[in-house]
Structure 1
Amino acid sequence: MKLSVASAKSVFFSLLLGASIAAEADDKCDVELGHGLIITDSVIRILDNGQTRVQINNDNQLLVRGMWVELNEQETQVLQEYAKGIRDTVPELVNLATDGVNLGLSAIEQVVEGMSDSNPEVLKTQLQYVERALMDKFKRGEDFYYIAPQSLSKIDDFFTKEISGKIHSAVHGSLGAILVSVGDAFKSREGNIESRFSDMGQRMEIISKEIDKSLQQKAAQLEVKANEYCECLNTLDETEKRLQVIVPSLAAFDLVQIRS
């Protein structure tokens, strides 16, 4: 099998397109997070414009606008339910989101490594912008999780449109450097250039199948979780309403918003 430079480019972009498409759930749960959240082992913070407005310590102590709110035993139980609902949902959602994008970026790097001995620096720089876009919405560290205010029913759009678009822009913008790198690598090696492209095409085909398999598993996982989140978030919304009756000042920082 012989593979020309044009054919190699075609295979390359076909792989990128396949890697950036995720399956969307047929039924979406129309839920929005009205505020950002930071979650650690001992603290939950609800943010408004980057400032902590609501803080829950150890799932049983509440501060609103920095003021301590005294709760009786029954009221504390509602607060604990609310904190548990947040912890049961948000960290896993952040994990799924960041794992999904890291998978996509890893796939791009594998493709480029299959074409040359090193990744062009311009591609690395562009992919850093993709990572920053992700971190604006989802972020995790060794001891915390962060999620920005956003529509959870449009997470698919974030990945299939915004992140996918940034990945394509990164690759298109660095294509020249990639091809130069490939050409230089071929010049420094012995053997027929056509056979080198043929070998590259075969390697890319193998990588493509593995990426497709991983993405199909990820899409199925996200679809299942989307349905689970809908039920959990509806329950969390009901708990939040009960807590707002107890502490009316919390209504100004309504976290879970269900759209009919």
Structure 2
Amino acid sequence: MRVVSLVVAFALQCGAVQAATSKCDVELGHGLIITDDSIRIVDNNQTRVQINHDDQLLIGGYWINLNEADTIVLREYSQGIRDTVPELVNLATDGVNLGLSAIEQVVESMSDKEPEVLKTQLQYVERALMDKFKRGDDFFFIAPQSLSKIDDFFTKEISQKIHSAVHGSLGAILVSLGDAFKSREGNIEDRINDMGQRMDIISKEIDKSLQKKAHQLEAKATEYCECLNRLDDTESRLQAIVPQLLDYDLVRIRS
């Protein structure tokens, strides 16, 4: 995919400046949806700004006429977005869904079925993740947020939701174990002890995984600080050409 090749090229470029880059506070002021053909700046599920093929600009559904020099700035802005956002979305989503599936499998192995409460809680976890980061076969989405505080999202919000999902299913598992005991399908004490040990392992592994994910994203946001600074500069130049874009300021950086 064209987006992927752009990300790879930019990763090499940013790697060259990483040593000279200091940590900075980076925020995205609006949501972004990126496909091969377009970039959309969105608010409340509505497209406010759209860039087609990296060289056509629409604001509020109206075409903006640009001369050749202005189009070069637009293209630079569009490429800068493509170079950063998809990799951040990939980092945020990679492994999390696999981790949720692993939780389901472990709980099922203890109770012989998946408690409905676990299924419901894990849906809340997935929804919280997709509200911030989402990718499909042909698009990337990132919500407005502070990229410098992604660690809080994973180590606090997502971690808390996953812990609630796991421990919220304990009651259903105990009921299942009680039924097994009544029907003499096994030793309930052994199974309860085994369940407690597995839950403890799950909790620790969840925390380790989420902390690793948060550190990866924080490091990537720091690595991209110089690149995002350049994108912010390009955005300012484009706003000088098209003042309507001031209402949709995307990159906000505080050193």
Asked if Structure 1 and Structure 2 have the same fold, meaning a TM-score greater than 0.5 normalized by the shorter chain, the answer is yes
Question: What's the % identity of the aligned pairs?
Answer: 82
Identify the residue that residue 129 of structure 1 maps to in structure 2. 124
CA RMSD of aligned residues (A): 2.8
Residues 252 and 203 from structure 1, CA distance in 2 versus in 1: closer, same or farther, beyond 3 angstroms? closer
Q: 1:108-187 residue pairs with structure 2 within 5 A?
A: 108-185=103-180
Are 1:186 and 1:196, in contact at CA under 8 Å, matched by a contact in 2? no
Structure 1 residue 226, shift from structure 2 partner:
2.5
2:26 to 14, 31, 35: 31
How many residues are treated as equivalent by the alignment? 234
Structure 1 residue 198, shift from structure 2 partner:
6.5
Residues 217 and 165 from structure 1, CA distance in 2 versus in 1: closer, same or farther, beyond 3 angstroms? closer
What is the distance in 2 between the residues matched to 1:198 and 1:192? 10
Structure 1 residue 193, shift from structure 2 partner:
4.6
1:233 to 221, 228, 233: 228
Residues 194 and 172 from structure 1, CA distance in 2 versus in 1: closer, same or farther, beyond 3 angstroms? closer
Structure 1 residue 86, shift from structure 2 partner:
0.8
Are 1:42 and 1:57, in contact at CA under 8 Å, matched by a contact in 2? yes
SS at match of 2:224: helix
What is the distance in 1 between the residues matched to 2:166 and 2:212? 25
Structure 2 residue runs of 5 or longer lacking an equivalent are: 1-21
Q: Which amino acid aligns with 1:80?
A: R
Does residue 46 in structure 1 map to residue 53 in structure 2? no
2:243 to 245, 248, 251: 248
Q: Which amino acid aligns with 1:224?
A: A
What is the distance in 2 between the residues matched to 1:90 and 1:173? 35
Q: TM-score, normalised by structure 2?
A: 0.78
What is the distance in 2 between the residues matched to 1:171 and 1:95? 25
Q: Which amino acid aligns with 2:49?
A: V
Ranked by relative contact order (alpha carbons within 8 Å, sequence separation 6 or more), the top structure is: 1
Q: Which amino acid aligns with 2:246?
A: A
Structure 1 residue 220, shift from structure 2 partner:
5.2
Are 2:54 and 2:78, in contact at CA under 8 Å, matched by a contact in 1? yes
Identify the residue that residue 58 of structure 2 maps to in structure 1. 63
Structure 1 residue 122, shift from structure 2 partner:
1.6
